[in-house]
Structure 1
């Protein structure tokens, strides 16, 4: 029997007055419960900042998929805070993860790019 792996980690660093660097790593299936834990961390970090700029590194190399409700949560997060995301670097595997990143880039104000190499993603975020 295969072992079920699931997890989410998020880290937020503030750089200067209004810039926030967020690192997100997802293992297994992204769930509604993950968003219930993740969104308050993000919102707590940017609370009180009039116009925060968020730079996100999302490591989805071990992501298997999304619950339908998690996709809805992602849409709600995008509607509420999408204008604050400046760059989104997605590190993952070629295929559906790359396609989803390109799709998101068309429909979000953030500049979203897909990377296979984490270091390349970090360098792009820092430009």
Structure 2
């Protein structure tokens, strides 16, 4: 499940993932928000917070994530992934494979540092 956090403003998107992500999370929440921000600002800065209850993706959500990454690979200035160590490899691979901008992983305790990092670039 995805939640848009109140720090989302201007060209910044801050979303929280909890439990299991579904195709609907991408189609109904993330993709429309991303497309709106790109239309208004050209490129975006994104913080994805994988909270302590995050369990992963349903099969369809993995496909939606891949499609979104391929379609918008040049639309990210910076991508911060905040979450536990088990998501570190995923975050690094995501950044290298899908976006032309910078990507960095932060631990859960570094949420504010991650927010400042995406805003500084």
TM interval, shorter chain, is 0.7 to 0.9
Deviation at 1:44, TM superposition (A): 2.7
Q: Which residue of 2 aligns with 1:25?
A: 16
Q: Which residue of 2 aligns with 1:41?
A: 33
| Counterpart pick for 2:9 among 9, 13, 35 | 13
Deviation at 1:23, TM superposition (A): 0.5
Paired with 1:31 and 1:110, the residues of 2 have a C-alpha distance of 25
When normalised by structure 2's length, the TM-score is 0.84
More helix per residue: 2
Q: Which residue of 2 aligns with 1:4?
A: none
Per-residue CA deviation, residues 17-65 of structure 1 (Å, 9 max, x unaligned), is xxx1000101100100111212122213333x4x712100110023111
Matches within 5 A, 1:1-127: 7-11=1-5, 12-14=8-10, 20-38=11-29, 39-47=31-39, 49=40, 52-61=42-51, 62-95=53-86, 97-108=87-98, 109-116=100-107, 117-127=110-120
More strand per residue: 1
- Structure 2: where are the runs of 5+ without partners? none
Deviation at 1:69, TM superposition (A): 1.0
Paired with 1:63 and 1:82, the residues of 2 have a C-alpha distance of 24
Number of aligned pairs? 113
When normalised by structure 1's length, the TM-score is 0.80
